[in-house]
Structure 1
Amino acid sequence: YERHAWRDVADTVNPQDLLCLSQPSAIDGMVWPEANAFLRRLSQRANPAQLVLDLTYVGATAEPPIETILANAPCVSAVVISLSKPFGAYYDRIGGVFCRSENLGLFGNQWFKNLTSLQLGIRLMERFDVFAMARRYASIQQSVAEHAGHTLGLTLMSADIFILARGSADADIDPDLVSYLTRAPGAIDARPRLCLTPGMAERIGMASPNSGTLP
């Protein structure tokens, strides 16, 4: 579904469909201003489609959204979270899911629970403010975005999510490159979206000394 038509989507989506929505948005790295309005409108239906709310990027912005994310909307059947991106702990796979009812598809996960990662996640949340990482590395984000843009021939700017950059909507560049870097190619106001993690890790000094080389 195209996000700009969110009102029509909320009114006409098949009740049997399962929707997924990320807020802040993985599509362009920005907080989606209409997310709560969409959740409210969808929830007003007598038999709304169910929605999984992906909050992976909560804590990856320097400032909280203007409006508290409506995670308790009636249409939301589950909320998924991750600390991997906000804290740069990709390989520790720290995350979780909150469900309104038992999800049998997750039953087997109880035998694969990583207690070390859970303890690491607890310590990270105890030690750091939820917006600390994004604020700390804002200048590096901007610098890496500019460098990546220069390399690709794009005009890139920092996204709300501190490890992402987004391109100019009216950039006069290779359309194939734009399509490749766009999460929703063809959608109205769709923009190129780039992950800055490799460049930021190098600037911060966390990149492997052998990164970029073959074993």
Structure 2
Amino acid sequence: MESFTLLRQKGVSSIYVRKGEYEGYKAVAETRGIGIVEVERKTDPASVAPGYWYLSNPSAINGNIIPEEEIEAVCEAGHQVFYDLAYLDSTRPHEFDVRHPNIFAAVVSFSKTYGMFYDRIGAVFSREPIPSLYGTRWFYNPEAVLKANAVLGSLQPNELYSVYRPGQEAIIDEINREYGLGMRPSDTFLLGHLTADDAKKLNAEQLALIARHKRADSYRFCLTPYYLERDPEEREMLLKWRDYLLAEAEGILTPQQMDELKKMIKGVLEQ
């Protein structure tokens, strides 16, 4: 998220995000003194003043692929786009076009699709240098880079989607049988979603059950915990990671910081 540092150096005071977008944008932007302007998905980008848009694709709002013409419309309206491709390689084959000159940076991550969130591996591709990232040249983790290279080298194109899409559908079928939600599979195999119209069909008890999953006027559900239930070995590894982090932090962090760390770890385990 060092792109926010760059924007602050440029004198940018606010960015655009769609309602229901990844909450991390707001959290980090606030630490740099940058405000958030939330816009509806149907907002015509030409109707707002040119600025910087942070867009995830597949969308963190519902896990579905944003059509390329929507991204292009933002760019053609004179906006600069930070393109978050964290869910890359978790959908059917799709070309995410980053060629437009107004896409000022694009990022990829190994945390979601490849399940390597405890390794913190990712990459940023920027059209201009991001000075605050320069220091990482001296402190990068060779082991993490080797892991990333090994993972990519072991997979065929579309392999993960082919393997996990049936599991996604089975998980959602189970949830719908138990709770009657009418949940739909998202384009990324990691998520399920409900549209605003779907939610109108639910009763008060069902809406209360899913309230914390609401994003704007729709709902997004992370399926990772269900995949972990089907893979006890992976679940055990994550729990060991949790215990290690907490043991290392004990006696160093304040009680308040420990509470924040526990919330962060819980969020990772439930992503």
Place the TM-score, normalised by the shorter chain, in its bin: 0.7 to 0.9
Identity of paired residues, percent?
Answer: 29
Aligned to 1:64: 93
Describe the SS at the equivalent of 2:215: coil
- Give the alignment partner of residue 54 of structure 2, picking from 8, 20, 30: 20
Name the aligned partner's letter for residue 30 of structure 1.
Answer: N
Aligned to 1:208: 236
Asked whether the 8 Å contact 2:75–2:81 carries over to 1, the reply is: no
- Give the alignment partner of residue 32 of structure 1, picking from 63, 66, 72: 66
Asked whether the 8 Å contact 1:154–1:173 carries over to 2, the reply is: no
Aligned to 1:106: 133
Correspondence 1:139-154 to 2 at 5 A:
139-154=166-181
Closer, same or farther: CA 86–14 of 1 in aligned 2, 3 Å? same
CA deviations on 1:49-108 (whole Å, 9 max, x unpaired) are 2110011111011x212xx32211121100000122111222111111000001123233
Name the aligned partner's letter for residue 110 of structure 1.
Answer: R
Name the aligned partner's letter for residue 208 of structure 1.
Answer: E
Correspondence 1:1-215 to 2 at 5 A:
1-5=39-43, 8=44, 10-15=45-50, 17-33=51-67, 36-45=68-77, 48-61=78-91, 63-65=92-94, 68-167=95-194, 169-170=197-198, 171-174=201-204, 175-185=207-217, 191-205=218-232, 206-208=234-236
Higher helix share: 2
Distance 2:215 2:54 in 1: 14
Unaligned runs of 5+ in 1: 186-190
Name the aligned partner's letter for residue 13 of structure 1.
Answer: V
Distance 2:132 2:237 in 1: 40
Name the aligned partner's letter for residue 11 of structure 1.
Answer: A
Describe the SS at the equivalent of 1:3: coil
In the TM superposition, what is the alpha-carbon distance from 1:28 to its structure 2 partner? Answer: 0.7
Distance 1:72 1:84 in 2: 24
Distance 2:238 2:46 in 1: 52
Asked whether the 8 Å contact 1:43–1:73 carries over to 2, the reply is: yes
Unaligned runs of 5+ in 2: 1-38, 244-271
Asked whether the 8 Å contact 1:39–1:75 carries over to 2, the reply is: no
**What's the Cα RMSD here?**
2.4
Aligned to 2:13: none
Closer, same or farther: CA 39–157 of 1 in aligned 2, 3 Å? closer
The worse-fitting range, judged by mean Cα deviation, of 81-90 and 71-80 is: 81-90
CA deviations on 1:97-130 (whole Å, 9 max, x unpaired) are 0000011232333344222111111111111023
Closer, same or farther: CA 176–202 of 1 in aligned 2, 3 Å? closer
The worse-fitting range, judged by mean Cα deviation, of 72-81 and 175-184 is: 175-184
Distance 1:148 1:94 in 2: 31
What's the TM-score once normalised by structure 2's chain length?
0.65
Asked whether the 8 Å contact 1:94–1:118 carries over to 2, the reply is: yes
Asked whether the 8 Å contact 1:20–1:51 carries over to 2, the reply is: yes
CA deviations on 1:1-30 (whole Å, 9 max, x unpaired) are 11123xx1x203322x32111111111111
Closer, same or farther: CA 203–105 of 1 in aligned 2, 3 Å? same
How many residues are matched?
A: 197
Asked whether the 8 Å contact 1:55–1:81 carries over to 2, the reply is: yes
Higher relative contact order (CA 8 A, sep 6+): 1
